A and B are shown apart, each in its own frame.
Chain A
Amino acid sequence: MSDDHDHHDGTDDHELRVSKIRNGTVIDHVRGGQALNVLAILGIDGSEGEEVSVGMNVPSDRLARKDIVKVEGRELSQDEVDVLSLIAPDATINIVRDYEVIEKHRVERPDVVTGVLSCPNPSCITTAGEPVTSRFEVLDDAVRCSYCETIVREEIASLIDT
């Protein structure tokens, strides 16, 4: 599974641009410019005092330019990882404990995302104050509201419910 060679902290010059973390998650190979959306999708805005490092538009072998997000003290759940796939389909997730990468996975597109995106259709029942959790089917190149069936192709990041 070591398809990736630039992951040992310290062996990659680019990695030095963002600090090492002790315990937490490194989200690597995020498409250039999407790092802030990654934080938004995870509901991380720094207001809880989390230690977050972001590298943007770092040169990469696999993507011409990539973003890196490191979150100290937080391990992402599988649900969160799945949702990341909508905006960062190439991302790799490294779970770090005591400076060691103990788990590494690629994101996979889920069939459905629940409670993460909000429907852009103002006539949709999910925007009307009902006790209902948003749900979107994930299509090949878009997401679709399971209630009003609106399809969103572009700007999925703007639907992130923060």
Chain B
Amino acid sequence: MRHDHLITSKQLSRADIEAILDHAAEIDADPSAVADRHADKLLGLLFFEPSTRTKMSFETAMKRLGGDVVDMGSVESSSVKKGETLADTVRVIEGYTDALVLRHPKQGAAAMASEFVDVPLLNAGDGAGHHPTQTMLDLYTIRENAGLDDLTIGIMGDLKYGRTVHSLAYALSNFDARQHFVSPESLQLPREVVYDLHQQEGAQVREHESIDDVLPSLDVLYVTRIQRERFPDENEYQKVAGEYQIDMDTLDAASDDLTVMHPLPRVDEIAPDVDETDHAAYFEQAHNGVPVRMALLDRLLSEGGDGDE
């Protein structure tokens, strides 16, 4: 695989991650320095499932680098509807563009697509698989708020289907991070993710069913949504849902420095009264998507296929 695709957070070393985060911080501090850097470049946006936010974040990042985007539009209006394969779609669109961003409902879609193209391809989510650019903005936010070393982080909610969670856990295993996973039993981390994390040197992973077990010790609490539709029975959902909601009362037990994160959109897992406190970092987290994606795009578009990592 060409090393200038970004398919999974697993492919990133600690040095890669730090270089990207440092670059994002530079861009954040002085966006004008890169404002024309990719003025002649086009980014292809291939979103096979809707994601307004991720798509707009990439679009903004590319335009802030002076470049432009082309967008295949909704799946309903595209040739995909006529049965074209993903392999064909990416081979056609790569001829128009300098890099591709792919969001696809099938797991492994980005890995497969990257085998068919020569331009850099960024995975913007492949089913329950990976979402590495989300992970990079999560790491950026964590680093800004709590630092990435000697970190105690709780990751709570739907850990089974949450690709953002899996990507983040892999990336954190490069750092001195104690990872606590909090979920109902039915939504625990997939066994293969646990297997991988244990294979990783130094990954410290614990699983819990109650947030009370770990909340006081946390520097960061990363909350994800528990989706109602994952439960065959509404009663089962009601039983667990309340256990995994954060509000000001819950946070009484937390450290004053606790940073609360969420990949958004949230429904009711973080009460609005948390928004105004110093704990809340989720909107900042969303905003960080732009400088982080600028840094990633800048890196991929500047490497010109013979990158020097």
Contacts and interface: CB of A to CB of B under 8 A. Distances in A.
Contacts of B195: 151
Interface string A129-162: 1111000000000001111111100000000000
B67 interface: no
Q: Is the interface of B mostly helix, strand, loop or mixed?
A: mixed
Interface string B77-112: 000000001110000000000000000111111011
B129 interface: yes
B252 interface: no
Contacts of B112: 125-126, 130, 132, 147
B105 to A, nearest CB: 8
B241 interface: no
A124 interface: yes
A161 to B, nearest CB: 16
Counting contact residues on chain B (CB < 8 A from A), the size range is 10 to 19
A123 interface: yes
A121 interface: yes
Interface residues of A, number: 18
Interface in A17-68: none
Contact of B108 (A129, A131, A147, A151): A147
Interface of B: 85-87, 104-109, 111-112, 115, 126-129, 191-192, 195
22 contacts: A123-B105, A123-B107, A124-B107, A124-B108, A125-B86, A126-B108, A128-B106, A130-B85, A130-B86, A130-B112, A131-B85, A132-B112, A132-B115, A144-B192, A146-B108, A147-B108, A147-B111, A147-B112, A148-B107, A148-B129, A149-B107, A151-B195
What 10 A-B pairs are tightest by C-beta distance, nearest first?
Answer: A147-B108, A148-B107, A148-B108, A125-B106, A125-B108, A125-B109, A151-B192, A125-B112, A123-B107, A130-B85
